[in-house]
Amino acid sequence: MGLFGFGRARKLQDLKVGDLKKERLTQEVKQDQLIVRIRHAQEQHDGLLESASEPGVTDGEVDAAAYKMGQVNKTKDRAEKDLQEVITRMTVIDSTLDIIDKKQELEKRGIWKKINEIPEEELEAQLQDLAVDRKESEINLDRIVEVFDVDRQAVQSKRSADVRRSRDAILKMRGRKSGDGDPAPVSSGGEDKTLLLNDKE
């Protein structure tokens, strides 16, 4: 597939600056789209939490909201993972451009030739290591988290656990609104036996 997916490029000298800059712009667009997706998911989560915690909401409605919140969290987790990958790729591209920009200096020291003799997979790994060392990568990620308040959440392996956590959040919010602690939800007459079994586990 080529170095970092760039066609037939096998060595650093095969990469074109124009292609790298074009790819970085593409990644910037993806970054913006993912940030919007994460913010939208957070707004959905907060909206569900707020509405489901209102007094008088039935047990069935709480369960439905908890399930939806779990699905929204999964969407947000995937988007956050994709965002991290995009940021990493952008930083790798920046590191690669830095090296190419210093080509003349590296040639004088005999390093440029050595770089282009490194096998493709090993070169990719070394460029990724350089990207990790770039201070800009940490600044970019921290600023995104700060500006858009992207909170990191552990990916849940079981849907039932995620649903119970969301349900607990709804009940705690209801308790704060009513000032009565954590009141039980109003029964809708038809209890969700699956959820009740999960709660006993």
- Enter the DSSP assignment of 54: S
Average pLDDT, the chain: 75
DSSP track, 130-180: HHHH-HHHHHHHHHHHHHHT----PPPS-HHHHHHHHHHHHHHHHHHHHTS
CB-based contact 70:163 (threshold 8 Å)? yes
> From CA 63, how far away is CA 52, in angstroms rounded?
9
Q: Give the pLDDT confidence of 131-184 residue by residue, as tens digits.
A: 776 654 443 333 323 332 333 333 333 445 666 777 777 778 877 877 755 455
Does the reported pTM lie above 0.85?
Answer: no
Count the alpha carbons within 13 Å of 122 in the hemisphere toward its beta carbon.
Answer: 6
Q: Give the pLDDT confidence of 93-142 residue by residue, as tens digits.
A: 888 888 888 888 888 877 888 888 878 887 788 777 777 766 544 433 33
The reported pLDDT for the residue numbered 118 is 78
Mean local confidence (pLDDT), 34-41: 95
